[in-house]
Structure 1
């Protein structure tokens, strides 16, 4: 009986040990199953993240292409801006130069206008003086002619003297006339040059 009781206790201990091991194995199995589920969930998350990374990489590549296109467009616009700026500076310089030339033209035109006015006044004054001189000489010739006619039958010496005076007056008159002609020709030539200069300024 004692052996049987001991054997029974041994069996019960073995059964208890087996049950404990089974419980441990079941717990281990459940833990492994949970671990597998966790790993499967993590793998799923990793695959999802990989998919998201792939999508983000595609978006980054697309944005990089757009950025490259925009940079190229900006560089083109910068080049055009530099060209336009250079052209604008050239035009501004030309406008300033034309403005300066216009001011100089106006000053030159005003100066030439004053010269023309002074020239006309001098010509008119000279013409009046010449006419008065010519008229004076004509009157002197008439006086000498009258004296010659009056004393034509008188003293030959006096007659010759009067003739010499008349010839001298005539020579003076001719010299004045020639001088007048030369001065008028010179003045008209100067006037033509001034008018030509004024016309060039106007154009």
Structure 2
């Protein structure tokens, strides 16, 4: 494009010089001489080249507009890509947060299962103790009464079991509340 612009400027310069020459030295009405015919031929050649250069410049301008339009489309697509990347990053962070919450819930669930297994084993031990106690009561020679040390021990065991029950109730309520919060 730069080459065609330089070429056009050269042709304009030559044309203006020829025009200046013919303005200051007008052609007389006598028959044209050889030099005048050659100058006239040069002018027509220059005019045709000038028209060709104008056509090339219009083509270049059209191509420049097309390139500008494509550059605009490219920048629009880059903007779309950046928006999609931003959405992807946001979704990725949300997914990580949800996975973390799921892991926490799974840990709480594992703790709950362990806790219930522990309580079930304690209940089984308690049943076994009760069975032993009832068996002991059925033994001959026992009046069905227990000694004061056995009573004190049974009361301590009862107090321990009640404390465990209360702790279990609090933990269960806390777990239910935490689960409700996580499900929101």
Alignment TM class, shorter chain as reference:
0.5 to 0.7
Instruction: Show the counterpart of 2:131.
Output: 124
Identify, as 1 or 2, the structure richer in helix: 1
Q: 1:192, 1:101 → 2: CA distance?
A: 22
Q: Is 1:190 matched up with 2:130?
A: no
Q: 1:138, 1:107 → 2: CA distance?
A: 41
Over the aligned positions, Cα root-mean-square deviation in angstroms equals: 3.4
Instruction: Could you tell me which runs of 5 or more consecutive residues in structure 2 were left unpaired when the two chains were aligned.
Output: 1-32, 177-184
Per the TM alignment, residue 181 of structure 1 is displaced from its structure 2 partner at its CA by: 7.9
Question: Aligned runs of 1:22-61 on 2, under 5 Å?
Answer: 25-26=33-34, 28-61=35-68
Q: 1:38, 1:113 → 2: CA distance?
A: 110
TM-score normalised by the chain length of structure 2: 0.59
Which one of the candidate residues 79, 82, 89 is aligned to 2:89?
A: 82
Q: 1:184, 1:128 → 2: CA distance?
A: 19
Deviations 1:159-187 (A, max 9, x none): xxxxxxxxxxxxxx4x6378448616843
Count matched residues: 143
Q: 1:117, 1:32 → 2: CA distance?
A: 125
Q: Would you identify which runs of 4 or more consecutive aligned residues in structure 1 move more than 3 Å?
A: 28-34, 177-182, 184-189, 191-196
Q: 1:176, 1:126 → 2: CA distance?
A: 13
| Structure (1 or 2) with the larger CA radius of gyration | 1
